[in-house]
Copies of this chain bind each other. A is one copy, B any other.
Amino acid sequence: MKSEIAVFREFVRRKGLRNTPEREQVIRMIFATHEHFDVDGLYSLLRRRKEKISRATIYRTIPLLIESGLLQEAYVENGHMHYEHIYGHERHCHLRCLACGGLVEFAEQSMAERARSVGERYEFVVTGHRVEVYGYCPKCKAHR
């Protein structure tokens, strides 16, 4: 299996774009973190590692990563988007508590299968899916 960087290099070449050290740093950092991130968190992480990459570059890189299949939007929280890397991972779904905002992840093979079969029914080429289930977690449902 190709590395994320390799996938991105190929994508960039195919599109006639250019690869840069900044973009590769962004990719490495994204794949070094366990899972979700937002732009500001990523920016801080990069700064802490002494990488001088601007927010603008991060914002400009993200659509490329999505288009190349490395990344997907996960959910909006506190008014801004959160992303998750999806290359080389089992997809997971999110279970969100509406009261405390808590997030539980779960892997659900059957969701992925259903997503694919629905896509086929509409003659789509399915590349991803996102599932969010909400309700009240054990702690919060007790408080109601």
> How distant is the Cα of A93 from the Cα of B134 in the complex, in angstroms?
15
> How many monomers of this chain does the complex have?
2
Q: How far is the CB of A113 from chain B (nearest CB, A)?
A: 10
A98 proximal to B (CB < 8 A): yes
Question: Range of interface residues on chain A?
Answer: 35 or more
Q: How far is the CB of A81 from chain B (nearest CB, A)?
A: 7
* A127 and B114 form a contact (CB under 8 A): no
Q: Among the listed B76, B104, B110, B129, which residue makes an inter-chain contact with A134, where contact means beta carbons less than 8 Å apart?
A: B129
* A111 and B114 form a contact (CB under 8 A): yes
A90-138 contacts to B (CB < 8 Å): 93, 95, 97-98, 104, 106, 108, 110-111, 114-115, 118-119, 121-138
* B133 and A118 form a contact (CB under 8 A): yes
The prevalent SS among residues of A at the interface is strand
Q: Among the listed B111, B114, B135, which residue makes an inter-chain contact with A119, where contact means beta carbons less than 8 Å apart?
A: B135
Q: Apart from A110-B114, A123-B137, A130-B131, what are 19 other A-B pairs with CB-CB below 8 Å?
A: A73-B76, A95-B118, A95-B119, A104-B124, A106-B118, A108-B114, A111-B114, A114-B114, A115-B133, A118-B133, A122-B137, A122-B138, A124-B141, A125-B135, A125-B136, A125-B141, A129-B132, A130-B130, A130-B133
